[in-house]
Amino acid sequence: MDFKQIITGIYDEVKASAPDGKVSDYIPELAKVEPDKFGIALITTKGSTFSIGDVEEKFSIQSIAKVFLLSLAFSIRGDSLWERVNVEPSGNPFNSVVQLEYEKGKPRNPLINPGAHVLSDILLTELNDPYEAFLQFVRKITGTRSIDFNEKVAKSEKNLGYRNASLINLMKSYGNIENHIDAVLDFYFHICSVEMTCEQLAKAFLPYANLAQPFDFAGVTLTRSQIKRINAIMLMCGFYDESGEFAFKVGLPGKSGIGGGIVAINPKQFSVATWSPRINKKGNSIFGMRALEMLTTRTEDSIF
Amino acid sequence: MDFKQIITGIYDEVKASAPDGKVSDYIPELAKVEPDKFGIALITTKGSTFSIGDVEEKFSIQSIAKVFLLSLAFSIRGDSLWERVNVEPSGNPFNSVVQLEYEKGKPRNPLINPGAHVLSDILLTELNDPYEAFLQFVRKITGTRSIDFNEKVAKSEKNLGYRNASLINLMKSYGNIENHIDAVLDFYFHICSVEMTCEQLAKAFLPYANLAQPFDFAGVTLTRSQIKRINAIMLMCGFYDESGEFAFKVGLPGKSGIGGGIVAINPKQFSVATWSPRINKKGNSIFGMRALEMLTTRTEDSIF
Amino acid sequence: MDFKQIITGIYDEVKASAPDGKVSDYIPELAKVEPDKFGIALITTKGSTFSIGDVEEKFSIQSIAKVFLLSLAFSIRGDSLWERVNVEPSGNPFNSVVQLEYEKGKPRNPLINPGAHVLSDILLTELNDPYEAFLQFVRKITGTRSIDFNEKVAKSEKNLGYRNASLINLMKSYGNIENHIDAVLDFYFHICSVEMTCEQLAKAFLPYANLAQPFDFAGVTLTRSQIKRINAIMLMCGFYDESGEFAFKVGLPGKSGIGGGIVAINPKQFSVATWSPRINKKGNSIFGMRALEMLTTRTEDSIF
Amino acid sequence: MDFKQIITGIYDEVKASAPDGKVSDYIPELAKVEPDKFGIALITTKGSTFSIGDVEEKFSIQSIAKVFLLSLAFSIRGDSLWERVNVEPSGNPFNSVVQLEYEKGKPRNPLINPGAHVLSDILLTELNDPYEAFLQFVRKITGTRSIDFNEKVAKSEKNLGYRNASLINLMKSYGNIENHIDAVLDFYFHICSVEMTCEQLAKAFLPYANLAQPFDFAGVTLTRSQIKRINAIMLMCGFYDESGEFAFKVGLPGKSGIGGGIVAINPKQFSVATWSPRINKKGNSIFGMRALEMLTTRTEDSIF
């Protein structure tokens, strides 16, 4: 398959299409980003790489970090993890307190905010230095030592994260948070503040596509079966209240962040990352979704 | 892959495991079925077939029929179908009126009951004889002329379907049902009453796996892209409130019915049907789910 | 107190104020009414009457009839009535299916639609001819033999009452409706179709204010304690999702109907009825609420 | 009316009835209270007082304090208060986040927790020293200089109030809280920690019954109309999810607290306070509700 030609074609076409949506202003720090940045990076399981556009510029990966968080927690806890968080799609906006109250403080899945709070809480309980462990894992899986938290972004969220504070307090009232709330949120906001380039992001997700290789990074090990399960969760729950739409149109497991990044994988074939900061009302990058829909249409290859 | 050996092993092991769950008593006619029936039938895209147990006995396919309904409606209406029904997972029990009210009469997806009511309504509007058209399609895709409605089951549902009547009246109050309510429900209950054997069911779903062949049965044609989208919907929404669990553990697109049938496909590889009438509280066959989880674990092959 | 002067003053002032809201178009028959009709009728427990405006013209009392229905059912069943319906305010629009689902088919109170369906169901079970019994009671309490159902209005509702059908089917699915759904709805739509003048309506509610007299009309008897409880229910639940607003501003037990009627009582003092067909979005007559707020402000006398 | 005989009779009968319910263990400090304490105190608008049982022992008034909070805020803000909080009954448990999310951060009424948070927030904005102002008002209205916060109880709540923290963070995310969350909660927990005896509580609510006297305590002034509206709110919303039940059975405006206190008023007649720490699942004192139901039954006098 000639990925180079396909990706170049998609990039040009999407880039030329009408700009739509707007940069997230949820966090002041994120609002400063240049709205028309756009990049695509793809890596095949055979090692070929293709990238075009703003693929070497770092951006805030935000919710995409939840997949790394899930990988760490799953590696440590195994299936006992599911006593604390479910694996069903949410069917509601990603930060809804309604479902959390009806389900007595057990989040619907690990990729919505309250799910990620529970995973953060688990890492705080299990690890001596979860901040360091998280960074080590992410640095190892991207093969980039310079990956780090952005303290400004983390602090910016902390000051404004009232809805996150509402969710986590509600879970604590049901007994599903063990550590101090401020400690959990501080860790959570830090992991969301991690910055990567498109190329680094594509590389970081290649191990989720490359099932032939053992998954072992900085001591975080996952079995083949566990990786497949993470992929299933990404497909079901990776795009907030638009997960069905993404599965329907793109048909690949993936994860988006309100910083405008999207990453998706085609098992045994490739990992692909896009970045374009203009997001739609559901919180997903408009150019990113458009590009990935074209990709599976033109390659005639999704998981379905 | 030696499917024969794998399936025989799974059949023996599941058959020997403790019986759990119970036969649906929602409809009196269904409650009469022998609870310990169990069968597995698999057909590969290359034409090999493997079956074991009660695979030649007919059972009520119930909700599995929604996939055929969706295929007809999608074939006729194309993407304009999505103006009447969404493609997001429901995140709620399959017959919840709550979500329907909050979303003003537009069902979350075509595989929950209200979604199937809307599809039924569309066929009543579009076709002269939707009953005949449905049978023709199902007979063609199974290659079995004797497939038919079970009038007793259809009538049994009609007399007891208060929750279905509640759902469809609610949608009608929002203007999302065009035809007379009794007419829509009569058609809906008929299609759910269709009976098949495991072997017929596996055969009927092979075209959803066999993307290399054109999909054209009794005039119902779907593009490759449309088939993939139906598969994506099955994965997201095929198992009521347990869709996430099924994707997580089995990792194949599929559909269950409260008659105890489950069918699943592995794109480009096979279609597999199981039947065991004992269902869990979510409405899914316990032995069926167990067998399919073993299948993807032992073949080490799911879509993820 | 000079009610004549107060009511005349209120009538003139409200009549001169800007017309707002619009006639209910929920039922075609109701939509035909002249929007600028306006009347006020007040009767004291001592027998004095004051009326002004369109007080001798009949209008559809609609939901106000639920109070008569409650009186019949309470008289027959006593406190066992509350096993089938609660006495809590609804906190949701009057026809919400959401609360009904969360509370498993038991309506929040007797004055919302599903509550009235349950009461209708009880009368169908208990009485040989509930239609005749209802008419006899209403004729006796108004002292007017000519009170009757409006068949056109009853039929008009029947053809369009999809939301009512949704509610009652949901309750039936939970086992809280004993009779055939069509029979219950037919009776319910008939009682809502009763027509009265403002003067008749004020007279009909005087017994709820006049606690010194025994309540006994056509065999429907209520104790003093039961009347007080009906008054409490009216205060809590008589104005759909605006009950708190009415208690806050007017401070009297009462009931409104989408035909534009409102009736309220001041225990031991008076009964007052208003009619003005323009209703607000919550379903309550705008001029009626305005007039009654002025009444308790100017007389400096509410129940609080 | 011989209140002395009636109250003595009620006290004896209730005291002799089977103890039911249990002391709130929500806050450790409250759990220490002796469960079988029971007292009733009544003061008429003419100045007569009747009391029996444990009426001189202080207890934590908890949610009853919300009425004082409302009085202060209403006095300062007038009707503009209702831009921040509604006056409809909640129809949900008192601390539900669900309704708060659907209504975008505007609480249903001032007597549920989030409503009281908003009132607390307003006092923090409006007053230099809201703690002192609150104490001055409560000391003046009870005529007791020694009324004070219980710092232990206030602190105890602060450490455990995760649900309160969830609610207030949610409102802050919608922009309906102006001050720092910790500051609002600290003030809120302090006012709930105020302790009174039954006799002091009855005295404190007499001005809400005694409409003939001007309401002016430590600069907190309310018009007759404003007092009536506070009474209406108490009737609609004073007993959490059991407000309808209380209006139905007792028929008086009132307020309960999880410390086991209840206070109710009969306008122009009396104020009555009860204390018995055993509460039911809805958070209301069982003996208190029983005693007050007897009171209006035996005096044959409620507001209805």
Q: Nearest CB to B245: which of A87, A247, A253?
A: A87
Give me the residues of D, 257-286, that contact C with CB < 8 A.
267
Q: With bands split at pLDDT 50, 70 and 90, how would you rate the model's confidence at A99? A: confident
Q: Is residue D303 part of a domain?
A: no
**Subunit contact A244:B92, Cβ cutoff 8 A:** no
Residues of C in contact with D89 (CB under 8 A): 88-89, 91, 236, 243-244
Q: With bands split at pLDDT 50, 70 and 90, how would you rate the model's confidence at D93? A: low
Q: Which two tokens stand for residue D268?
A: 């122009």
Please check whether residues C54 and C199 belong to one and the same domain: yes
Mean pLDDT to the nearest integer, D142-149: 96
Residues of B in contact with A91 (CB under 8 A): 88-92, 99, 108
**Subunit contact A166:D163, Cβ cutoff 8 A:** no
> Tens of pLDDT along D227-254?
999 999 999 999 988 999 999 999 999 9
Q: With bands split at pLDDT 50, 70 and 90, how would you rate the model's confidence at A62? A: very high
B175 touches chain C (CB under 8 A): no
Q: What is the pLDDT, as a whole number, of residue C28?
A: 84
Q: Does pLDDT of A21 surpass 70? A: yes
Interface mutation vs chain A, best among B242, B282, B304, most A CBs within 10 Å: B304
C21 touches chain D (CB under 8 A): no
**How many CA within 13 A on the CB side of residue C267?**
22
Q: Which two tokens stand for residue A111?
A: 């990729």
Q: With bands split at pLDDT 50, 70 and 90, how would you rate the model's confidence at B92? A: low
C304 touches chain B (CB under 8 A): no
Q: Nearest CB to D165: which of A101, A163, A169?
A: A169
Structural domain ending residue among the three candidates D192, D222, D256: D192
Note whether A21 and A38 are within 8 A (CB). no
Q: What is the pLDDT, as a whole number, of residue B273?
A: 98
Q: What is the pLDDT, as a whole number, of residue B291?
A: 98
**Subunit contact B91:A109, Cβ cutoff 8 A:** no
Q: With bands split at pLDDT 50, 70 and 90, how would you rate the model's confidence at D278? A: very high
For D169, residues 6+ apart whose C-beta sits below 8 A from its C-beta are A162, A163, A165, A166, A169, D181
Spatial distance between the Cα atoms of B253 and B238, rounded to a whole number of angstroms:
7
**Subunit contact A297:B90, Cβ cutoff 8 A:** no
Question: What rounded mean pLDDT belongs to chain D?
Answer: 94
Q: Nearest CB to D89: which of C91, C228, C303?
A: C91
Q: Name subunits touching B (3+ CB pairs < 8 A).
A: A, C
Q: With bands split at pLDDT 50, 70 and 90, how would you rate the model's confidence at C98? A: confident
- D187 burial type by CB count under 10 A (0-12 exposed, 13-18 middle, 19+ buried): buried
Q: Does pLDDT of D167 surpass 60? A: yes
Spatial distance between the Cα atoms of C10 and D66, rounded to a whole number of angstroms:
35
Please check whether residues A181 and A266 belong to one and the same domain: no
**Subunit contact A233:B244, Cβ cutoff 8 A:** yes
Q: With bands split at pLDDT 50, 70 and 90, how would you rate the model's confidence at C27? A: confident
Q: What is the ipTM of this complex?
A: 0.92
A5 touches chain D (CB under 8 A): no
Q: Which two tokens stand for residue A161?
A: 């994260």
B179 touches chain C (CB under 8 A): no
Q: What percentage of chain B exceeds 70 in pLDDT?
A: 98
Mean pLDDT to the nearest integer, C117-121: 98
Q: Nearest CB to D166: which of A96, A102, A170?
A: A170
Domain range holding B250? 3-62+195-298
Question: What rounded mean pLDDT belongs to chain B?
Answer: 94
Which residues, listed in sequence order, are joined to residue C265 by a DSSP beta bridge?
Answer: C271
- What angle do helix axes B198-209 and B130-142 make, rounded to 10 degrees? 90
Q: Is residue D263 part of a domain?
A: yes
Q: With bands split at pLDDT 50, 70 and 90, how would you rate the model's confidence at A25? A: confident
Mean pLDDT to the nearest integer, C11-39: 91
Please check whether residues C186 and C211 belong to one and the same domain: no
**Subunit contact B102:C98, Cβ cutoff 8 A:** yes
**Subunit contact D98:A97, Cβ cutoff 8 A:** yes
Q: What is the pLDDT, as a whole number, of residue C240?
A: 86
**Subunit contact B304:A253, Cβ cutoff 8 A:** yes
**Subunit contact A98:D101, Cβ cutoff 8 A:** yes
Give me the residues of B, 85-114, that contact A with CB < 8 A.
86-92, 99, 108-109
A222 touches chain B (CB under 8 A): no
Q: Does pLDDT of D223 surpass 80? A: yes
Q: What is the pLDDT, as a whole number, of residue C157?
A: 83
Please check whether residues C204 and C187 belong to one and the same domain: no
Q: What is the pLDDT, as a whole number, of residue B75?
A: 98
> Tens of pLDDT along C145-176?
999 999 999 998 887 789 999 999 999 999 99
- C243 burial type by CB count under 10 A (0-12 exposed, 13-18 middle, 19+ buried): buried
> Tens of pLDDT along A149-163?
999 999 988 877 899
Q: Nearest CB to C91: which of D91, D235, D297?
A: D91
Mean pLDDT to the nearest integer, B86-97: 74
Note whether B277 and B37 are within 8 A (CB). yes
Please check whether residues A181 and A95 belong to one and the same domain: yes
Q: Nearest CB to D170: which of A102, A163, A181?
A: A163
Note whether D147 and D138 are within 8 A (CB). yes
> Tens of pLDDT along B105-151?
999 999 999 999 999 999 999 999 999 999 999 999 999 999 999 99
**Subunit contact C304:D253, Cβ cutoff 8 A:** yes
Please check whether residues A120 and A262 belong to one and the same domain: no
Spatial distance between the Cα atoms of B200 and B178, rounded to a whole number of angstroms:
33
Structural domain ending residue among the three candidates D174, D192, D210: D192
Q: Is residue B290 part of a domain?
A: yes
Mean pLDDT to the nearest integer, D127-139: 98
**Subunit contact B91:A99, Cβ cutoff 8 A:** yes
**How near does any CA of chain B get to the CA of A89, in Å?**
6
Identify which of D152, D235, D169, D199 has the alpha carbon closest to the alpha carbon of residue D58.
D199
Q: Is residue D69 part of a domain?
A: no
Q: With bands split at pLDDT 50, 70 and 90, how would you rate the model's confidence at A91? A: low
Q: Nearest CB to A251: which of B109, B232, B248?
A: B232
Residues of B in contact with C96 (CB under 8 A): 101
**Count of domains observed in chain D:** 2
Q: Does pLDDT of D159 surpass 80? A: no
Q: Does pLDDT of B91 surpass 70? A: no
Q: What is the pTM of this model?
A: 0.90
Mean pLDDT to the nearest integer, B36-56: 97
Q: What is the pLDDT, as a whole number, of residue D95?
A: 60
Please check whether residues B58 and B200 belong to one and the same domain: yes
C24 touches chain B (CB under 8 A): no
Q: Does pLDDT of A94 surpass 70? A: no
Q: Is residue D70 part of a domain?
A: no
Interface mutation vs chain D, best among A97, A113, A121, most D CBs within 10 Å: A97
Note whether C171 and C100 are within 8 A (CB). yes
Of A83-97, C90-104, C159-173, D40-54, which range is least confident? C90-104
Note whether B274 and B296 are within 8 A (CB). no
Structural domain ending residue among the three candidates C158, C191, C224: C191
Q: What is the pLDDT, as a whole number, of residue B113?
A: 93
Mean pLDDT to the nearest integer, A53-58: 97
Q: Nearest CB to C89: which of D227, D231, D236?
A: D236
Q: Nearest CB to D248: which of C232, C245, C300?
A: C232
Cβ-based contacts under 8 A for chains A and B: 107
Nearest CA in chain A to B242: A88
> Tens of pLDDT along B282-293?
999 999 999 999
Identify which of C236, C231, C252 has the alpha carbon closest to the alpha carbon of residue C297.
C252
H or E segment to which residue A23 belongs:
strand A22-23
Q: Does pLDDT of C231 surpass 80? A: yes
Interface mutation vs chain B, best among A228, A239, A293, most B CBs within 10 Å: A228
Identify which of D109, D110, D108 has the alpha carbon closest to the alpha carbon of residue D73.
D110
Q: Is residue B146 part of a domain?
A: no
CA D139 and chain centroid, separation: 16
Q: What is the pLDDT, as a whole number, of residue D220?
A: 97
Q: What is the pLDDT, as a whole number, of residue B18?
A: 87
Q: Does pLDDT of B168 surpass 90? A: yes
Residues of D in contact with A172 (CB under 8 A): 162
Q: Nearest CB to D166: which of A96, A98, A173?
A: A173
Q: What is the CATH number of the domain that holds B279?
A: 3.40.710.10
Q: Name subunits touching A (3+ CB pairs < 8 A).
A: B, D
Which residues, listed in sequence order, are joined to residue B148 by a DSSP beta bridge?
Answer: none
Q: What is the pLDDT, as a whole number, of residue A28?
A: 84
Mean pLDDT to the nearest integer, B44-55: 96
Spatial distance between the Cα atoms of B271 and B287, rounded to a whole number of angstroms:
17
> Tens of pLDDT along C73-93?
999 999 999 999 999 887 666
**Subunit contact B89:A236, Cβ cutoff 8 A:** yes
Please check whether residues A188 and A201 belong to one and the same domain: no
**Subunit contact B229:A248, Cβ cutoff 8 A:** yes
Note whether D109 and D234 are within 8 A (CB). no
**How near does any CA of chain C get to the CA of D73, in Å?**
16
Instruction: For residue D217, give the 3-state DSSP assignment.
Output: strand
Q: Is residue C71 part of a domain?
A: no
Please check whether residues B74 and B186 belong to one and the same domain: yes
Please check whether residues C103 and C141 belong to one and the same domain: yes
**How near does any CA of chain A get to the CA of D101, in Å?**
7
**How near does any CA of chain D get to the CA of C92, in Å?**
8
Going from the C-alpha of B27 to that of each of B35, B60, B158, C175, the distances in angstroms are 15, 11, 10, 15
Please check whether residues A281 and A227 belong to one and the same domain: yes
Please check whether residues A135 and A199 belong to one and the same domain: no
Q: Does pLDDT of C101 surpass 90? A: no
Q: Is residue C45 part of a domain?
A: yes
Q: Name subunits touching C (3+ CB pairs < 8 A).
A: B, D
A173 touches chain D (CB under 8 A): yes
Q: What is the pLDDT, as a whole number, of residue C18?
A: 87
**Subunit contact C166:B169, Cβ cutoff 8 A:** yes
Q: Does pLDDT of D94 surpass 60? A: no
Mean pLDDT to the nearest integer, B178-207: 97
Mean pLDDT to the nearest integer, D117-135: 98
A159 touches chain D (CB under 8 A): no
**Subunit contact D101:A102, Cβ cutoff 8 A:** no
Residues of C in contact with D229 (CB under 8 A): 248-249, 251, 304
B177 touches chain A (CB under 8 A): no
Q: What is the pLDDT, as a whole number, of residue D110?
A: 96
DSSP of chain C = --HHHHHHHHHHHHHHSPP-SEE--SSHHHHTS-TT--EEEEEETTS-EEEEES-SS-EE-GGGHHHHHHHHHHHHHGGGGGGTS--S---S-TT-HHHHHHTTT--S-TTSHHHHHHHHHHHHHH-S-HHHHHHHHHHHHHT-TT----HHHHHHHHHH-HHHHHHHHHHHHTT---S-HHHHHHHHHHHHT-EE-HHHHHHHHHHHH-TTS-EEETTEEE-HHHHHHHHHHHHHHTTGGGHHHHHHHT-S-EEE-TTSEEEEEETTTEEEEEE--EE-TTS-BHHHHHHHHHHHHHTT----
